[in-house]
Amino acid sequence: MSQPSVDSPPGSRAGVRPRASGQDLARRRKPHPALVLAVLATAMFVSALDSFVVNVALTPIGRGLGETSLSHLSWILNAYAIVYAALLVPAGRLADRFGHKNGFLLGLGVFTAASLGAAASGNLWVLVAFRLLQAVGAAVLTPASLGLVLTTAPPGKTGKYVQIWAASGSLAAAAGPVVGGLLVQVSWQWIFLLNLPVGVLALLTATRLLPAGRRSADTRLPDLAGGALLVTGVGALALGLVQAPEWGWGAVPTVTSFVAAAAALALCAVRSARHPVPVVDPGLLRDRVFGWAGIATLLFYTAFAGQLLGLTLWFQQTWHWSAIETGLGVAPGPAMVFAGALSAQRLARRLPVGVVAATGSALVALGIAWIALHLGGGPNYATGVLPGWMTAGIGVGLALPTLISSATSGLPQDQGATGSAIVTMAGQIGTVFGVSLLVIILSAVGSGGPVHAFAVAWWVSVGVMALSGVAALGITPRRTGAATTRRP
């Protein structure tokens, strides 16, 4: 009989490897955090892309569905923005309570299935209904994905991982027009079909890679009535902003929307102060860094949404460019976003984060000011648009990831998804307000000609972006001696 080797562990037989312990197996099976981040950022990119890709496809969609009314077609955009903004905070709160992985898979599954329904729609209002479902999925997906980023990032790299995640969303926001312009050359349905292979692959990968995570020990449901009030308030506010240019700012429906929003949000604030499990923790809102980041993000998106849509309309309505020409004309801006994001990571090691974000906002304002000053007469893309738009792209990469990462990276893990939802909601409301502001300005000063009207709109955006930069200075944490204080 063979004898056990001298080097064999106690209790083992010769030639037989000892079984790995449960701890060893768990360590061996644990995916690399960068791979987890890649899955989360990809899903975030696709969901964020859908918010913007439809802009250049409205006319082809109208032709395909036999709908010519711009006010009706606009609900393909508006319905998504309203529902997405309204559901972000309740969805984030539920993800914090019941597991980020479950929320991520549910949101991605709903978004992917609704994309198939949108592509198969043969009627405008059926398409709008599926857009609503897409928004529900995206609202669940977004805060859950950031919650997973916060819990899976290696120690000391949380800020960097959040910046990469945020950069994927900001790149999607800028790249939407070019992707939409390319896809509608085949068929408008492809702007939704694109989500299917990416969504299915992300679902399969996420099921295997993402950690189950720990649910909150507190299994009580968040304040559902407060959540309903928040949904009503944000939805009514977004509805009023979106429809005010058509209804009129003093019209009964507009005033009713704003009054309903104010009443619902006030009641939600009262319930949140008293309820043991509020949807929005009042302590979170008292965080100075988080508060300034939310204000700066709202102003940033207000300015950026008007700039992006304004440039798209300028190309199509004034220069009479096609959708593909418009998309390619917008492309150099988003191409610079990641360069700006990488620069932000380096600068944050040497400068206060507030200065980095404010510098980004200043670059965006400078880029749009260049465009406002140089457009006029015939098409002059190379000298009138390109320098300013590339400068703005670098600024977006500097500012937006820095704002989002600063707002959330210092929060407790059980508030990460909720915090990201509030900041993202601020951005969505800013987007709705920015688009509405652009429409109002173009309508009010359009008699002076397109050059004058667009110049006024862009100068207003420059001013709002400058205010965002001022607010961004507040995201630098206070320091007491060598320690940074951050108390939500």
In tens digits, what is the pLDDT along the chain, a chain of 488 residues?
444 444 444 444 444 445 544 444 444 456 678 888 888 888 888 887 877 788 777 778 888 898 876 667 778 887 888 788 778 878 877 777 778 888 889 999 999 999 999 999 989 999 999 999 999 999 888 888 888 887 888 887 877 887 788 778 767 766 777 788 888 888 889 989 988 998 899 889 888 888 765 555 555 667 878 888 888 888 888 888 877 877 888 999 999 999 999 999 999 889 988 888 787 778 777 788 888 998 999 999 999 988 888 888 888 778 888 878 888 888 888 778 878 878 887 887 888 999 999 999 999 999 999 999 988 767 889 999 999 999 999 999 899 888 888 887 777 766 766 777 788 788 888 887 887 788 788 877 666 678 888 899 999 999 999 999 999 999 887 664 444 444 44
Residues 368, 372, 377: CA angle, nearest 5 degrees:
140
Same domain for 196 and 314?
yes
Tell me which of 278, 296, 321 is where a domain ends: 278
User: Cα torsion at 380, 381, 382, 385 (round to 10°)?
Assistant: 110
pLDDT of residue 132: 92
Does some domain include residue 175?
yes
Contact 343, 357 (CB under 8 A): no
Parent domain of 177: 31-212+279-479
Tell me which of 262, 278, 294 is where a domain ends: 278
Paired tokens of 145: 């994905």
Distance CA 4, CA 33 (A): 40
Output the furthest CA–CA distance in the chain (Å, rounded): 102
**How many domains is the chain partitioned into structurally?**
2
Same domain for 229 and 192?
no
User: Cα torsion at 185, 61, 310, 464 (round to 10°)?
Assistant: -120
pLDDT of residue 71: 64
Same domain for 236 and 371?
no
Same domain for 367 and 255?
no
Same domain for 252 and 381?
no
Same domain for 236 and 194?
no
Q: From the centroid of its chain, how far is CA 473? A: 21
Same domain for 199 and 252?
no
Paired tokens of 462: 């420059």
Does some domain include residue 484?
no
Residues 435, 77, 301: CA angle, nearest 5 degrees:
35
Tell me which of 252, 278, 304 is where a domain ends: 278
Distance CA 342, CA 356 (A): 12
Same domain for 250 and 286?
no
Residues 6+ apart with CB under 8 A from 364: 300, 303, 304, 307, 391, 392, 395, 396, 399, 465
Rounded to 5 degrees, φ, ψ at 483 are -100, 145
Same domain for 146 and 288?
yes
pLDDT of residue 152: 81
Does some domain include residue 13?
no
| pTM of this structure | 0.78
Does some domain include residue 455?
yes
Distance CA 341, CA 20 (A): 42
Same domain for 353 and 466?
yes
Same domain for 232 and 372?
no
pLDDT of residue 218: 55
pLDDT of residue 4: 46
Distance CA 162, CA 406 (A): 9
Distance CA 30, CA 37 (A): 13
Does some domain include residue 188?
yes
Same domain for 165 and 263?
no
CATH code for position 48: 1.20.1250.20
Does some domain include residue 8?
no
Does some domain include residue 262?
yes
Half-sphere exposure of 400 (CA within 13 A, CB side): 33
DSSP structural state of residue 483: E
Does some domain include residue 16?
no
